[in-house]
């Protein structure tokens, strides 16, 4: 069976989150693919190139590419300067050649990768899969117009399009036909270890403990709702597990029964899961 090399252009760095991109990358690696996972945080300054970011799992190596005139995070994009997209395309080509990737499958889940990817595809004929894991235009009103344009370009450059929800599938099928609905799932083996109570939080929080897993950002997390729940149920301990944006942290500060925890994903998440009483889906939940 053929196991292609994979150039994984993600919208999330490898840490600290553990979500759909990580599950997919690990799944590909477990089936014999060599996966090169490229960080969405591009390196500013210097000449085009890439840097090794370690091998977090068997079959997966992580890398960061450059060079851009200023720090650039594809999860919070701004319009590409021509020299930046060209330098990033060159950096990706160097990464492919230096890692001896054999006609790699390009797996991309951030529309902001589209401009440098288009430049790369003019130099190299590579198969592309676009994994649409969210409604990207909903995060940033200012960026919505160019994100939509970049996604349209990516759709037509892809041999296969994956949609994380039925809503996304219907929207994408109005533009291209090669769309497959692949919903989010659960790492059953990992969470099976949470069937017995771990007690890992009992020395810090008093029960009942209400847990939220995922990133909390002002663009998608209903901070006001969480604060209102905490005020209405002062006897509850509310544990927010995952990276918290600074602005969200400021809004939550001073609420005595809201606690933020940053654990190493995925190694500690099952232990924390086994310590909470319930895990409701507050608006913005991003576990997958």
Tens of pLDDT along the chain (288 residues) come to 678 999 999 988 888 777 899 999 999 999 999 999 999 988 887 689 999 999 999 999 999 998 767 777 777 777 888 888 899 999 999 999 999 998 899 999 999 999 999 999 999 999 999 999 988 877 777 788 888 999 999 999 999 999 999 999 999 999 999 999 999 887 777 777 666 666 667 667 888 888 887 788 887 889 999 999 999 999 999 988 878 888 898 999 889 999 887 665 555 666 666 566 655 554 444 433
Examine the fold and report which residue of 146, 181, 216 is the final residue of a domain before the chain moves on.
181
Residue 284: predicted pLDDT: 46
| Alpha carbon distances (Å) from 130 to 53, 118, 164 | 24, 13, 11
Q: What is the SS3 assignment for 183?
A: coil
Residue 282: predicted pLDDT: 47
Examine the fold and report which residue of 161, 181, 201 is the final residue of a domain before the chain moves on.
181
**Smallest Cα–Cα separation from 108: which of 160, 166, 56?**
160
Yes or no: say if 205 and 259 are a contact pair by the CB < 8 Å rule.
Answer: yes
Residue 285: predicted pLDDT: 42
133 and 77, same domain (yes or no): yes
159 and 249, same domain (yes or no): no
The residues near 287 (Cβ < 8 Å, ≥ 6 apart) are 19, 213, 214
Paired strand residues for 209: 237
Residue 266 per-residue DSSP state: T
155 and 268, same domain (yes or no): no
287 falls within a domain: no
19 and 133, same domain (yes or no): yes
* Strand pairing report for 41-44 and 72-73: antiparallel
Residue 279: predicted pLDDT: 54
282 falls within a domain: no
**Smallest Cα–Cα separation from 236: which of 249, 227, 223?**
227
284 falls within a domain: no
Query: 10 Å Cβ neighbour count for 248?
Result: 21
Q: How far apart are CA 154 and CA 111, in angstroms?
A: 7
Q: How far apart are CA 109 and CA 106, in angstroms?
A: 10
Q: How far apart are CA 205 and CA 199, in angstroms?
A: 10
Yes or no: say if 274 and 200 are a contact pair by the CB < 8 Å rule.
Answer: yes
Q: How far apart are CA 66 and CA 106, in angstroms?
A: 18
The residues near 198 (Cβ < 8 Å, ≥ 6 apart) are 271, 272, 274, 275
Residue bearing tokens 């499958």: 105
The residues near 72 (Cβ < 8 Å, ≥ 6 apart) are 41, 42, 44, 78, 84
177 and 233, same domain (yes or no): no
Residue 274: predicted pLDDT: 59
Examine the fold and report which residue of 181, 214, 231 is the final residue of a domain before the chain moves on.
181
174 and 223, same domain (yes or no): no
286 falls within a domain: no
107 falls within a domain: yes
Quote the number of domains for the chain.
2
101 and 201, same domain (yes or no): no
What's this model's pTM, rounded to 2 decimal places?
A: 0.83
The residues near 237 (Cβ < 8 Å, ≥ 6 apart) are 201, 205, 206, 207, 208, 209, 210, 257, 259
232 falls within a domain: yes
288 falls within a domain: no
176 and 230, same domain (yes or no): no
Domain that holds residue 61: 6-181
Kindly report the CATH number assigned to the domain that includes residue 63: 3.40.50.2000
168 and 268, same domain (yes or no): no
107 and 217, same domain (yes or no): no
245 falls within a domain: yes
195 and 138, same domain (yes or no): no
Residue bearing tokens 């594809």: 74
177 and 225, same domain (yes or no): no
């Amino acid at each position: 069976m053929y196991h292609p090399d994979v150039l994984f252009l993600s919208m999330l760095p490898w840490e600290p989150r553990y979500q759909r991109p990580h599950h997919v990358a690990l799944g590909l690696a477990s089936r014999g693919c060599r996966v090169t996972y490229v960080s969405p945080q591009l390196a500013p300054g210097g000449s085009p190139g890439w840097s090794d970011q370690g091998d977090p799992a068997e079959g997966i190596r992580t890398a960061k590419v450059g060079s851009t005139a200023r720090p650039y995070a594809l999860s919070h994009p701004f319009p590409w300067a021509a020299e930046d997209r060209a330098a990033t395309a060159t950096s990706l080509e160097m990464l492919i050649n230096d890692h001896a990737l054999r006609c790699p499958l390009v797996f991309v889940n951030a529309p902001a990768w589209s401009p440098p990817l288009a430049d790369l595809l003019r130099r190299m004929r590579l198969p592309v899969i676009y994994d649409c894991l969210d409604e990207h235009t909903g995060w940033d009103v200012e960026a919505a117009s160019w994100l939509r344009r970049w996604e349209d370009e990516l759709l037509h450059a892809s041999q296969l399009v994956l949609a994380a929800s039925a809503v996304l599938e219907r929207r994408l099928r109005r533009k291209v036909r090669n769309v497959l609905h692949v919903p989010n799932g659960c790492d059953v083996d990992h969470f099976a270890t949470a069937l017995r109570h771990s007690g890992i939080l009992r020395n810090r929080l008093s029960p009942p403990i209400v847990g939220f897993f995922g990133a909390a950002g002002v663009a998608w997390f209903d901070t006001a709702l969480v604060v209102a729940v905490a005020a209405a149920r002062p006897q509850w301990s509310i544990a927010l597990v995952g990276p918290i944006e600074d602005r969200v942290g400021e809004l939550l500060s001073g609420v005595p029964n809201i606690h933020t925890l940053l654990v190493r994903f995925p190694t500690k998440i099952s232990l924390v899961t086994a310590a909470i009483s319930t895990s409701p889906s507050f608006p913005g939940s991003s576990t997958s």
